[in-house]
Amino acid sequence: MDLAGAVSFLIPAAILFFLFISGVRIINEYENGVVFRLGRYVGLKRAGFRWIIPIAERMVVIDLRTVTRDVPAQDVITKDNVSVKVSAVVYFRVVQADKAVLQVENYLYATSQLAQTTLRAILGQAELDQLLAERDRINRELQKVLDAHTDPWGIKVSNVEVKQIDLPNEMQRAIARQAEAERERRAKVISAEGEHQAAEKLALAAAVISRDPATLQLRYLQTLVQITSSGNHTIIPIPLELLKALSSAPSLPALPQR
């Protein structure tokens, strides 16, 4: 084979090899390829070695893994007219790669913007106490609304978490005063319940002692022991029978006044 024949063979072979190489695509396990032929959608390519027709076909590779997207702090006015700053984080992933390409221009940007507007709308319908105490319920509501709006884009929102709530300084002081007042109220209630229970026990003990005189005598002796054990005291015990006799004796007549 002469030189001219070799060149005439190598040039087409090189062109064919270049066209073949330019059409080779390697798709990872966590990706899908959306294929367009002359501008028309023709199908999806799964993971592995794939080849598309050069020039005539184009492939858009979409990542199917879960995306974590921070929602910047949003100024929210709650239902009870309190201004707060709320930030959140959204977890979502593409479940239908063809819709993520065909139905929305940039699904990452669109989902992020939708999360911001939904955050302001949902939190604006709640009062501050609900926002602080019912965060799990609000997270579920945010996830449900976002998932419904992104479903036509082939996106599944798996979770939404309210990350931080910044309150004004005066509101923080008001909440601290409210918490302190609540603690004082609980302490007073507990003290009153203790006094009530103690009074019930004392009334029960008095009823038992009144039914059995020997119990009163025993209690009298225990009281004497407690008094003598606390220091140097001289105690002259008086029998209870004598005290009862003195208490039941008639009072002396009053002396005439001069």
Q: 47 and 28 in contact (C-beta within 8 Å)?
A: yes
Predicted local confidence at residue 217, as pLDDT: 63
Over residues 92-121, mean pLDDT: 92
Q: Is the pLDDT of residue 94 over 90?
A: yes
Tens of pLDDT, residues 188-202: 888 888 888 878 777
| Strand-strand pairing, 31-37 and 48-51 | unpaired
| Domains present along the chain, CATH in parentheses | 3-62 (no CATH), 67-167 (3.30.479.30)
User: Tens of pLDDT along 218-250?
Assistant: 666 666 666 666 656 565 555 555 555 555 555
pLDDT in tens, 129-164: 888 888 899 999 999 999 999 999 999 999 999 988
pLDDT of 23 over the 90 cut: no
**pLDDT at site 151:** 93
* 134's tokens: 């019912």
Higher pLDDT: 62 or 165? It is 62
Angle at 28 between CA 27 and CA 30, to 5 degrees: 125
Q: In what order do the strands lie in the sheet with 155-166?
A: 67-77, 83-94, 155-166
Stronger pLDDT, 64 or 167, i.e. the higher one: 64
Of all residues in the chain, the percent with pLDDT exceeding 90 is: 33
pLDDT at 83: 84
Strands 67-77, 31-37: pairing is unpaired
Please state the separation of Cα 112 from the chain's center in Å.
21
* Predicted pLDDT at 66: 93
Q: How far apart are CA 235 and CA 220, in angstroms?
A: 13
Average pLDDT over residues 172-191: 75
pLDDT at 126 over 70: yes
Pick the most confident of 16-20, 57-61, 186-190: 57-61
Whole-prediction pTM: 0.64
Separation CA 110–CA 157 (nearest Å): 13
